Amino acid sequence: MPIRARAHVYQMQPYCPGKTPEQLMQELGLSELVKLSANENPLGASPRAQEAILQNLHKIHLYPDGNCTVLRDALSQFYNLPPDHFAFGNGSDELIHLFGIAYLEPGDELIMAHPSFVRYEASARLNRAVLKRIPLTPDFRHDLSAMAGAITERTKLLYIANPNNPTGTIVYRDELEQFLERVPEHGLVILDEAYFEYVDHPDYPNGLDYVRAGWNVVVFRTFSKAYGLAGLRIGYAMGRPELLDPIERVREPFNVNTLAQVAAAAAIWDRAHIERTRAFNRTGLAVLQSACERMGLRYVPSQANFLLIEVGSECARIQQRLLQQGILVRTGEAFDMPTFLRVNTGTPEQNERFIEALQHALYE
Ligand SMILES: Cc1ncc(COP(=O)(O)O)c(C=O)c1O
């Protein structure tokens, strides 16, 4: 009998990261590649974060602080929230994984929107939970009343990506509050606010308000997006200590590396960098959206740092033609929207290059 992993593991798909920019450049003979496919910050990391990394290079032979003390204290001060209200992950990806293994018994239910962030799904499958994917509304927003309607006595985790990836849409304060009223005591709502820093909308709810008010809510945020630290892998959860305690029990002792901790603790105070990032994004989205209007392309109005653009059944070919011109974007196949491209905002020059390349890809 050949050795076998647990049966349900074979029903899971490995994450497909695609080729690296270096591999693509070599294959296509490009001298430069503009990567607009992973919602990263085109301005890079805060100079303060980079300085903190340099200052701490001499410590990398030592294990990191397993408690993330300096970062925990920095965030506690920043948010005015007690230090025991934080848990840390090797990216918020790891937090999604940890909440799944800590909370989901086989047969428990995980409710999420579809399309939404694919890693929620993986955590349900890994733990043999029942996955309930509730379609977005026709205007690509969470259907919170249908999500509430899907709750049963086996519902354990309810994920809301706010803003949602891949659509960039948000749930509003009043609809979220009505939804929370309908979640029973045995359900934990996870508000994944990976793109929190980008949102401008006056009706956008700050998940932390619900943590402070004592709801069964945990908020995820990350240093990968607006903070420009995706390569270091660091995200955090905020919630009541008893909701985070199971995560402390199941996580690896040293899951967040030293350089990530010091960079994040420095980055959180660099508000000028975040403001600049927000301003670049606001202008970038406006430029991309008006280009879509000029070209007669439908798009989903976004509150995040990316835009979902409908280019039709030729989507994969258009993505290839963009690539040949040195622009990497994401096709919607991975999230069941095969006629859409997802592109994140770049620098003003990168945005212009993308628009020009898209025109070529579509019409020439
Ligand atoms: C909604 C959402 N949640 C979580 C993540 C994962 O982020 P991290 O880099 O912190 O693991 C992403 C990344 O794309 C995301 O879009």
Q: Is residue 306 a part of any domain in this protein?
A: yes
Residues 49-65: what's their mean pLDDT? 98
Q: Is residue 178 a part of any domain in this protein?
A: yes
Answer whether 78's CB lies under 8 Å from 268's CB.
Answer: yes
Choosing from 88, 224, 303, 343 the residue with most ligand 1 atoms within 8 A of its CB, the one to mutate for a pocket test is 224
Q: Is residue 60 a part of any domain in this protein?
A: yes
CA distance 343 to 178: 32
- Do 263 and 277 sit in the same domain of this protein? no
At residue 307, the 3 state secondary structure works out as strand
Pocket of ligand 1 (CB under 6 A): 39, 91-93, 117, 161, 165, 192, 194, 222, 224, 230, 235
CATH code of the domain covering residue 289: 3.90.1150.10
CA of 39, closest atom in ligand 1: 14
CA proximity to 163, closest of 200, 131, 126:
200
Please say whether the dihedral angle defined by the alpha carbons of residues 72, 73, 79 and 80, taken in this order, is positive or negative: positive
Burial class (CB in 10 A: 0-12, 13-18, 19+), 39: buried
- Do 57 and 23 sit in the same domain of this protein? no
Domain enclosing residue 331, as ranges: 7-32+272-363
Q: Say if residue 128's pLDDT is above 90.
A: yes
CA distance 173 to 113: 17
- Number of Cα atoms under 13 Å in the Cβ half of residue 57: 5
Residue carrying the six token digits 């010091």: 262
The residue out of 267, 283, 305 marking a domain boundary is 267
Give, as one character, the DSSP assignment of residue 38.
Answer: S
Chain center to CA of 359: 29
- Do 144 and 216 sit in the same domain of this protein? yes
CATH code of the domain covering residue 54: 3.40.640.10
- Do 153 and 281 sit in the same domain of this protein? no
CA of 163, closest atom in ligand 1: 1
Answer whether 156's CB lies under 8 Å from 102's CB.
Answer: no
- pLDDT, tens only, 212-268: 999 999 999 999 999 999 999 999 999 999 999 999 999 999 999 999 999 999 999
Q: Is residue 2 a part of any domain in this protein?
A: no
pLDDT at 187: 98
Q: Is residue 43 a part of any domain in this protein?
A: no
The residue out of 218, 245, 267 marking a domain boundary is 267
- Number of Cα atoms under 13 Å in the Cβ half of residue 139: 5
- pLDDT, tens only, 148-170: 999 999 999 999 999 999 999 99
Q: Kind and range of the H or E element at 335?
A: none
Residues 63-69: what's their mean pLDDT? 98
2 C-alpha to ligand 1 centroid (Å): 36
Q: Kind and range of the H or E element at 244?
A: helix 241-250
- Number of folded domains that form the chain: 2
CA proximity to 35, closest of 51, 52, 23:
23
CA of 234, closest atom in ligand 1: 10
At residue 184, the 3 state secondary structure works out as coil
| Whether the bond into 115 is cis, omega within 30 of 0 | yes
pLDDT at 101: 98
- Do 225 and 80 sit in the same domain of this protein? yes
- Do 184 and 305 sit in the same domain of this protein? no
